A and B are shown apart, each in its own frame.
Chain A
Amino acid sequence: MNKKTIIIYALLFCAVAVISPWIGSESISPAEVFSAGTAAPTPAKEIFWLQRIPRVLLALIAGGALALTGAAFQVLFRNPLVEPFTLGISGSSSLGAFITILFPCLWLRWGPFSSVQLFAALGAGTSLLLIYTLSNRPEGVDIYTLLLAGVTISIICSGAILLLTYFSDPHSLVIFQHWMMGGIDIIGYQSLFSLAPLLLPAIVVLFYHSKELNHIALNDEMAMGHGVDIKTVRRNVFIGGGLAAASVVSIVGPIGFVGLIIPHAVRRISGLDQRTVLPCSFFLGGASLALCDAAARTIIAPTELPVGIITAVIGGPLFIRLLVSRRLHKL
């Protein structure tokens, strides 16, 4: 574990956290926000505290969780192309969200959870449970069945979504399209609180197992020989990563790219020890999504772009640049 590297990434994360709330179509100065004396909330204060801050926090947490899950899954499946949504989580949660949007009778609120969020999480949870049962064997989870089942569920869900699209009215379609593009334009802190019960334990589990992931990168027998309880680690990382991805996708929609690219970037820049890679992926993922969201707020101000578009359009070329740079050691 390289503490210095982790601290550098953490500082970057904090810097982005401090700077990005000030970026947006409405320019706000610190003087306006922190001016004392006026009892009544000014517009600047409201925008800052109820829109910008929760939004930046969500971007930091969601981006971090996606990148962290991607980093863990790429090792778990020994496959560089895996991302948090490979397991069918984005397909099944999209289906859940779409069904809710289509049938207003499902609109309900339960504590801080909105109905779309609830059903998206429910969809993701169902697919996780399904592929876990399919691939669970006496000797442990079968990684290949897991991957194949996940991809198959994705395909089934997109088929179902197409079918529903065919029969649905334009208004619901627009709402759904917007959800699919991924957005973190939340107001207030409710959605943030609703993330916590699933996401926090999931993140703790992933961090806890980062040292075992180093061994899983070797091979199963070698890892067991070293004393790693592979069965337990696999199950925990799968469930932890699945829950993290499901809870994030239920709020921000399927934001692609962060979970795939950030872990690769971290491994290229900062080495292969998963105890470093996992926390650094969290910090870099959060910082990148927050920056992308700041760009989404400003590029075509006063309107906004969905952040999913920005992550792909900016992240893609950057990653290709990283791939071709020879200076950095081979993966």
Chain B
Amino acid sequence: MIELHNIVHRFPGSEWKLDIPDFSIQASEILGIIGPNGSGKSTLLRITAGIIKPLEGTVRLSGKKINKLKRKEIAKKIGYLPQETGSEYDYTVEELARMGRYSYTGTFGGLGPLDLKIVRESLKSTDMENMSERRLSRLSGGEKKRAFLASVLAQSPDILLLDEPTSSLDIHRQVQFFRLLRRLANQGMGVAVVTHDVNFASLFCQKLVFLVNGGLLSMGKPEKVISEKTIKYVYGEDVFLGRHPETDNPYLLPRLFKKTK
């Protein structure tokens, strides 16, 4: 669905370099992008979404180069939820969700019955239907995230790119959010999610991309990517590695004391 090839990116005035050979996001699959701070997760996601143009390399969306496409064309295929979401004005949830239909509307931005139906559905699937008249300032952190997700889902994208969507949520909301992503993937959507939380990534993602300092450390199934050795290598931290009772996926527990030799 979306393929990245030999991506290299640098920011002016900085030594740091993002260098990712190849990776792709497939339909019906959740791809987790993990790694420490400054490893290039968000930059990689922005490049994938066509928000920033890499210095080298190509991003192909269903075979077409993404920088040849108009923003409206990209928006019909890719839904992108940035890490920072906010609004200068205090829109209602419904108003926000309707904005997601932008790329389908004409000069005056009027919505037809089909558009309104899709807006309804995206509010429903994010569990925001009964809050549609609420203003953004009256929502909790989790509700706000879901409201913005609803506006992204209203784009009816094939691919969903999310940048740390759950970083400010409590565990219940986090689980809910990832279950929602799971449902969307089961309906055929390709999902890529940047997260700090290795445990959630391991439990909910079919495939993980582990980034370190702008480079690709490893890629594959969670049980392949996550090991005590890699965690020690990347984060410099000794951890206990366990197995999830339901799925047998690896999970991490921190040690109370530093290991002594």
Are A218 and B87 also in contact (CB < 8 A) when A227-B71, A329-B135 are? yes
In the bound complex, residues from chain A placing their C-beta under 8 Å from that of B135 are 329
Binary A-proximity of B67-93 (CB < 8 A = 1, otherwise 0): 000111111101111101111111100
- Measured in the bound complex, the distance between the Cα atoms of B76 and A221 in whole Å is 16
Q: Identify A331's interface contact among B73, B90, B107, B108, CB under 8 A.
A: B90
Are A218 and B71 also in contact (CB < 8 A) when A225-B152, A227-B76 are? no
How many pairs, one residue from A and one from B, have CB atoms within 8 Å of each other in the complex? 91
> Does B51 lie within 8 Å of A227, measured CB to CB?
no
The segment from B97-105, B167-175, B206-214, B232-240 found at the interface with A is: B97-105
Using CB atoms, name the residue of chain B closest to A277. Answer: B89
- Measured in the bound complex, the distance between the Cα atoms of B92 and A214 in whole Å is 12
Q: Identify B51's interface contact among A78, A217, A218, A225, CB under 8 A.
A: A225
B242 contacts the other chain (CB 8 A)? no
Using CB atoms, name the residue of chain B closest to A80. Answer: B88
> Does B108 lie within 8 Å of A1, measured CB to CB?
yes
B137 contacts the other chain (CB 8 A)? yes
A11 contacts the other chain (CB 8 A)? no
Binary A-proximity of B168-189 (CB < 8 A = 1, otherwise 0): 0000000000000000000000
Using CB atoms, name the residue of chain B closest to A273. Answer: B95
- Measured in the bound complex, the distance between the Cα atoms of B72 and A77 in whole Å is 23
In the bound complex, residues from chain B placing their C-beta under 8 Å from that of A228 are 71, 102
Are A1 and B99 also in contact (CB < 8 A) when A219-B82, A222-B148 are? no
B110 contacts the other chain (CB 8 A)? yes
B49 contacts the other chain (CB 8 A)? yes
> Does B108 lie within 8 Å of A214, measured CB to CB?
no
> Does A221 lie within 8 Å of B89, measured CB to CB?
no
- Tell me, rounded to whole Å, the shortest Cβ–Cβ distance linking B156 to chain A: 12
B155 contacts the other chain (CB 8 A)? yes
> Does B155 lie within 8 Å of A227, measured CB to CB?
yes
- Tell me, rounded to whole Å, the shortest Cβ–Cβ distance linking B75 to chain A: 3
Are A226 and B155 also in contact (CB < 8 A) when A221-B82, A329-B135 are? yes
Are A227 and B72 also in contact (CB < 8 A) when A222-B148, A272-B95, A331-B89 are? yes
A326 contacts the other chain (CB 8 A)? no
In the bound complex, residues from chain B placing their C-beta under 8 Å from that of A222 are 81-82, 85, 148
> Does A217 lie within 8 Å of B88, measured CB to CB?
yes
In the bound complex, residues from chain A placing their C-beta under 8 Å from that of B76 are 227
Most chain B beta carbons < 10 A, residue from A78, A208, A214, A275: A214
Most chain A beta carbons < 10 A, residue from B51, B80, B81, B109: B109
In the bound complex, residues from chain B placing their C-beta under 8 Å from that of A217 are 87-89, 91
B151 contacts the other chain (CB 8 A)? yes
- Tell me, rounded to whole Å, the shortest Cβ–Cβ distance linking B138 to chain A: 10
Within A194-218, the residues touching B (CB, 8 Å) are 208, 211-212, 214-215, 217-218
- Tell me, rounded to whole Å, the shortest Cβ–Cβ distance linking B232 to chain A: 34
In the bound complex, residues from chain B placing their C-beta under 8 Å from that of A312 are none
- Tell me, rounded to whole Å, the shortest Cβ–Cβ distance linking A221 to chain B: 4
Within A203-258, the residues touching B (CB, 8 Å) are 208, 211-212, 214-215, 217-219, 221-222, 224-229
Q: Identify A225's interface contact among B82, B107, B110, CB under 8 A.
A: B82
Are A272 and B51 also in contact (CB < 8 A) when A221-B80, A227-B75 are? no
- Tell me, rounded to whole Å, the shortest Cβ–Cβ distance linking A12 to chain B: 22
> Does B137 lie within 8 Å of A221, measured CB to CB?
no
- Measured in the bound complex, the distance between the Cα atoms of B152 and A128 in whole Å is 36
In the bound complex, residues from chain B placing their C-beta under 8 Å from that of A321 are none
- Measured in the bound complex, the distance between the Cα atoms of B70 and A275 in whole Å is 23
> Does A215 lie within 8 Å of B109, measured CB to CB?
no
Q: Mind listing 8 A-B residue pairs with CB under 8 Å? A: A1-B109, A215-B99, A219-B87, A221-B82, A226-B155, A228-B102, A272-B90, A330-B137
> When A and B form their complex, which 9 residue pairs have the shortest distance between CB atoms, in order from nearest?
A227-B75, A227-B103, A211-B109, A225-B80, A221-B82, A227-B72, A217-B88, A272-B89, A229-B71
Interface residues of A (CB under 8 A from B): 1, 75, 78, 208, 211-212, 214-215, 217-219, 221-222, 224-229, 267, 272-273, 275, 329-331
12 more A-B residue pairs beyond the given contacts A225-B80, A227-B71, A275-B108, with a C-beta to C-beta distance below 8 A: A211-B102, A212-B102, A219-B82, A219-B84, A219-B85, A221-B80, A225-B75, A226-B75, A226-B99, A227-B74, A267-B89, A272-B90
